Amino acid sequence: MSTKHSSNTQLSLAFFLNLFFAVIELIGGILTNSTAIIADAFHDFMDAVAIGIAVYMAKFSKKPASLTFTYGYRRFALLSAIIMSVILLVGTVFMTYNGIVTINTPKEVNSIGMLGFAVLGIAVNGFAFLRIKKGDAHEHHSHSHSHSHSHSHAHQSHDANSKAIMLHLLEDVLGWIAVLIGAAVMYFTNWFWIDSALTIAIALFIAYNALKNMYGTFTVLLQAVPEGINIEKIKSDLLQLNTIQKITALNIWTIDGQQHIATITVQTTTNNLQEIKKHLQTVFTQHNISNVTIQID
């Protein structure tokens, strides 16, 4: 089995686990009368959607560039990220409102049932996290023997997606640990307002991540310098080249947060265009910028 197929299998498994468990959570939340579990069901369902979109977009983005989309289809994933963030924010408004309304007049919650679902939630999300981590580590080991630029870029993009999904799943595990602790406290104290407090906390956590994700997406769409790219360091490295006399203009942006693009205008000390191009490409490649347009004054 190829590492690519193995990694996609791990993501698909995580997708179905989250989707199936979200349905179970919803039923469990209704049966236990717990708004916190229903909130977690919403969170897990959206994580499943995120994983599904990541798997689909990984295939869709490989479509060759066309006369209409000359840079390819990688930015379509950004549209789905914005749509998901909006859905999450709308959902958190309803969850927060419900939590605030019920915190002063809490309903009795089946804390034993909550404990059971919390343990199950930790197990399911923990299992999905470990499976993706295992597949990602296996793929990374395999790719360490390859140095092709396009192959390396594809792996880097997939690696970033896997790590983002792993972070989501780890956050889910921590969320369920909080539910477990809350359920245990309710069992011994009958402080049922804790369920509403957990609902609000989960909603605020989801909103924070949705806003952070939306901000990151908009910075890409507005063509900001990509995160992790130090433009001053790039200028410094370029000016150390014997062939470069002055940098007249330098613009750097990203297609999707992974594939970076630069345009540069320079004044040179030589007319050897091939030498200039080679030197510039070497510096940009060192800074993870694969697509460079060069203009010489």
Here the tokens at position 72 are 């390819």
Here the tokens at position 217 are 């997406």
Give CA–CA dist 149/126, Å, rounded: 34
Question: Whole-model pTM above 0.85?
Answer: no
> What local confidence, expressed as pLDDT, does residue 266 receive?
94
3-state secondary structure of 246: strand
Phi/psi for 245 (5° steps) reads -95, -40
3-221 matches 231-296 in fold: no
Amino acid letter, residue 45: F
Give CA–CA dist 136/123, Å, rounded: 20
pLDDT tens per residue across span 138-155: 555 554 444 444 444 444
In the chain, domain spans: 3-221, 231-296
pLDDT tens per residue across span 172-204: 888 889 999 999 999 999 999 999 999 999 899
3-state secondary structure of 250: strand
Provide the CATH number for the domain formed by 231-296 in this structure: 3.30.70.1350
Give CA–CA dist 92/202, Å, rounded: 8
Chosen CATH of 3-221 out of 1.20.1510.10, 1.10.3210.10, 3.90.550.10, 3.30.300.30: 1.20.1510.10
DSSP code of 294? E
Strand 244-254 versus strand 291-296 pairing type: unpaired
Phi/psi for 294 (5° steps) reads -115, 130
- Determine the average pLDDT of the residues in 53-69: 82
